[in-house]
A and B are shown apart, each in its own frame.
Chain A
Amino acid sequence: EAAVTQSPRNKVAVTGGKVTLSCNQTNNHNNMYWYRQDTGHGLRLIHYSYGAGSTEKGDIPDGYKASRPSQENFSLILELATPSQTSVYFCASGEAWGGRDTQYFGPGTRLLVL
């Protein structure tokens, strides 16, 4: 049974609209992450969280917000979506072992902003 799930799996949004991507994990991991994957850039970190109530900026946070209301759930929010945010978004969870943290990924959400 999948331990990290994402919804929706595919999303089409309009420029200027609000988009919320959701992630749920049943690993009971403290740490959760949001990445985006683009050709030529690989996977890049947007936001991460140490646990419920915490969110931290990653390498490319501009234009994104994150919310961690519980241990299991971590959302990525695009308040004003732009075409440059068209991408595939991956959520991951990891054990709270510092740098040893092995991350496990969800199936991804494909977002198209028109």
Chain B
Amino acid sequence: AQKVTQTQTSISVVEKTTVTMDCVYETRDSSYFLFWYKQTASGEIVFLIRQDSYKKENATVGHYSLNFQKPKSSIGLIITATQIEDSAVYFCAMREDNYAQGLTFGLGTRVSVFP
């Protein structure tokens, strides 16, 4: 069975700095997909970035990037040049390569960005 663990419950950072958050996963499949979502204070869940297990390059979208360490079953999210608006709860999720199965989510990391 799939399992996703986010050990950091909350992180505080100063605006314009970099924040890194951790995620480890468990799967028996050789092909899987990893996702990061952000949940804003209003409750909205927004897709940020995805990493496919067969890709060696770390995914990057805007000021979000991933640190994919496959041997360690780890997928960290890095946010550079943080802004106040980056304050949110960040969820790591994964999915094995099964057609139309849902995502398995971690419990989330709350990030607070201060001026």
Taking Cβ atoms with an 8 Å cutoff, the residues of A that contact B are 30-31, 33, 35, 40-45, 48-50, 56, 58-59, 88, 90, 94, 96, 98-105, 107-108
For the complex, count residues of B whose C-beta is within 8 A of A.
Answer: 28
Question: Could you tell me the distance between the alpha carbons of A45 and B105 in the complex, rounded to whole angstroms?
Answer: 10
Which of chain B's residues have a CB closer than 8 A to the CB of A100?
33, 50, 52
Q: A45-B102, A103-B103 are in contact. List 20 more A-B contacts (CB 8 A).
A: A41-B107, A42-B91, A42-B107, A42-B108, A43-B103, A48-B100, A49-B100, A50-B99, A56-B100, A59-B102, A98-B98, A99-B95, A99-B101, A100-B33, A100-B50, A101-B100, A102-B35, A103-B47, A105-B46, A107-B44
- Which residue in chain A gives the minimum CB-CB distance to B96? A99
Question: In the complex, what residues of A have CB within 8 A of residue B96's CB?
Answer: 99
Closest to B2 in A: A59
A104 contact set on B, CB distance < 8 A = 47
* Complex contact A48–B101 (CB within 8 A): yes
CA distance A43 to B45 in the complex (A): 11
| Chain B residues packing against A (C-beta within 8 Å) | 31-33, 35, 37, 42-47, 50, 52, 91, 93, 95-103, 105-108
Chain B: minimal CB distance from A12 (Å): 17
